[in-house]
Amino acid sequence: MSRKTKPSAQHDDVTYIAYPKEDGLLHVEGMCFYKGNKYTYSLNEQKQPEKPSTGKFYLLRGRISLRSPSNGKVLQMNGPARRKKRNQLKANGREPSAETFSVKADLYLDTMNEKVIQEKVMEKAKELSVKNATTLADANNDLYAGKMPIPRAVQIYADIFLKQRKEKAHTSEETLRRSKRELENLAGLLDKYTMDAVPKEALSAAYKKLSDKRRGTIFRLAEQFEEYCRDRGIYSGENPFTTFLEGNPSHKKRNIEAQQKKAQQKESLSEKEERHLIK
């Protein structure tokens, strides 16, 4: 059986990483997004039983969890879902544990096909979304209003955004890590603002604090990240970075001056090329 040891292509916003554990059995993990909410999952290949069992045997078993938009931890039930769970435990004479109210579900799969696994993960994410609609509505109250702080958005969504960007552009892991550091650094400079409202003055101040060589690249990266978030309903309205870059005279001026300077440079052959040409 072949083992995948690095991320594969994305499918419906589901990441997939598979590698063998020390015992040789496959481990699969990843995350997915459904309606702007983040889910993480983990699966382990099951060892084939030596003797047939009376129960159903699954090739992969694991769990999927819904992550809180506020802190990235496993989301906790509230409202009717929490009361229902508590009443079930009370009826059975049991006490709640640390994970009793965590929004999660078991995964049982009888396939090793990557695409099918991704589809099943997305199906289970949708089921969790429906069953925990009230909890999600409360957790995303600020999110859907576009009031998510920029650092929080970077914390929750940057990883999957950068991995998708990496696969499209075929960039290196080093570039991926640098891009994340740059997004986090920029988010730190804009930590007073939310995704839907970033004043031009704040962007201008942050722009000036960045490296002269990297500021344009960093802002274009942030522009793409904002587009990614807007496409997933994290906020609505205009992209503040697009508006800034289009209306920033100094940014345009530097680009024009650089192009003019490059055009005015005299092109000449190296000494080695010149000797070769003469011969």
C-alpha 54/C-alpha 263 separation (Å) is 78
DSSP state of 266: P
Strands 37-45 and 60-66, by their bridges, are: antiparallel
pLDDT tens per residue, range 123-152 = 999 999 888 888 887 777 655 566 778 888
- Give the DSSP per-residue string, 164-230: HHHHHHT--HHHHHHHHHHHHHHHHHTTT-BTTB--HHHHHHHHHHS-TTTHHHHHHHHHHHHHHHH
pLDDT tens per residue, range 216-247 = 999 999 999 999 888 877 788 889 999 999 87
Write down the pLDDT at residue 71: 74
Structure tokens at 240: 């503040």
In what helix (H) or strand (E) does residue 9 lie, and over which residues does it extend?
Answer: none
Rounded to two decimals, what is the model's pTM? 0.54
pLDDT tens per residue, range 166-224 = 777 777 888 889 999 999 999 999 988 888 889 999 999 999 999 999 999 999 999 99
C-alpha 130/C-alpha 137 separation (Å) is 11
C-alpha 50/C-alpha 217 separation (Å) is 57
